[in-house]
Amino acid sequence: MRDSIALAAIGLGSVLVILLFLAFKPSRRGRHTAEYLAGQTLKPEPAPVSPWSRPWTAPSSQEVQAIFKAERAQELTALQRERVWAAEFAALGVDYDFPTVPLGSLVKRERVAA
């Protein structure tokens, strides 16, 4: 029993010595030394891109006003007018997700017992 305890203690001690040696060995020259940084070429940072430099992709205000002020849409009910506006914006490639009709008054939901 004593022999196995002594062997375990020696084995554990030798493992600890190896781990300490590996953890605290002198480090080699790293990337933050002057010698390493002298050989590096500095890449210039790209110029910041302004969001105003690309062309405007949304419809112009004249196009939007023409959709909302169209006389044929003014004669329709509120729900039909919303659908016409959504269709007109879809033709321009814009998602019309700002309904002006409260949809809660159109859709009746009944409670379901779960």
pLDDT digits (tens, 9 = 90+) for 27-38: 666 777 777 777
Q: Tokens standing for 25?
A: 């060995």
pLDDT score, position 22? 74
- Evaluate whether residue 72 is within a structural domain: yes
- Evaluate whether residue 95 is within a structural domain: yes
- Evaluate whether residue 36 is within a structural domain: no
- Evaluate whether residue 42 is within a structural domain: no
Q: Which residue has the tokens 């009709």?
A: 101
What residue numbers bound the domain in which 72 lies? 58-105
pLDDT score, position 3? 83
- Nearest-angstrom CA–CA distance, 29 and 83: 69
pLDDT score, position 54? 80
- Evaluate whether residue 21 is within a structural domain: no
**pLDDT tens sequence for the chain (114 residues):** 778 888 888 988 888 888 777 777 666 667 777 777 777 777 888 888 887 888 888 888 899 899 989 999 889 988 888 889 889 988 988 887 766 666 555 555 566 665
- Evaluate whether residue 86 is within a structural domain: yes
- Evaluate whether residue 74 is within a structural domain: yes
pLDDT score, position 62? 92
Q: Which residue has the tokens 């004669």?
A: 75
Give me the number of domains the chain comprises: 1
SS3 content of the chain, % helix, strand, coil (to 5): 55, 0, 45
Is 6 within 8 Å of 14 (Cβ atoms)?
no
pLDDT score, position 66? 92
- Evaluate whether residue 33 is within a structural domain: no
Q: Tokens standing for 69?
A: 């002020």
